[in-house]
Amino acid sequence: MAIKPCRGPVCAFAAAILALCGSPALGQTAGSTAKIDGADTAWMIVATSIVLMMTIPGLALFYAGMVRKKNVLATMAQSLAATALVSVLWMAFGYSLAFTGDGPWIGSFTRPFLAGMEMDSVSPFAKTIPEVLFALYQMTFAVITVALVVGSVADRMRFSAFLLFSALWFCLVYVPIAH
């Protein structure tokens, strides 16, 4: 059985869509300079808060509903503690190791505690928002990634062991993969 060539308006529409998918975006030219855009910045602030809200009340309440009554508070505390721990580790060295440097597995310590970052500086990965906002947005994903582990260790791990595991997992798994 031979395959017939596609003809008609549906095929023309599909061909147009495929042609547009392969073309560069209109707003992105090769020689454009980095300029902070107010609309992009506003949207990224909203997106950052949404991701953070998925972690602290979202995951905490979700996992608290899945455990026995006596472990609800401990599970919620683990989500909150993971948020606090990873936030501090991200600002201390996580952002620097994940998004600076040219190493194949890990970055460099050029921005410990976000040193040298100014309000008008931009990241090479996000040229229309401030670098501080980019670091905060990426931090929320580091936080929620580690907080997802809370569900797998609920009722099974001591609090101090969970914090140690979270710190090690963040340093040895998340940061190299994010780089």
Every domain of the chain and the residues it spans = 35-178
Whether the per-residue pLDDT at 60 is higher than 90: the answer is no
Confidence of residue 139 (pLDDT cuts 50, 70, 90): very high
Comparing 9 with 95, which gets the higher pLDDT?
95
Is residue 122 within 8 A of residue 51, CB to CB? The reply is: no
Which run of H or of E encompasses 130?
strand 126-130
- The average confidence (pLDDT) of the chain is 85
Whether the per-residue pLDDT at 43 is higher than 90: the answer is yes
Q: What is the three-class DSSP state of 122?
A: strand
Pick the CATH number of 35-178 from 3.40.50.11540, 1.10.3430.10, 1.10.10.1100, 3.20.20.70: 1.10.3430.10
Please state, for a pLDDT cut of 70, what percent of the chain lies above it.
84
Four-point Cα dihedral 157, 158, 163, 165, nearest 10: -40
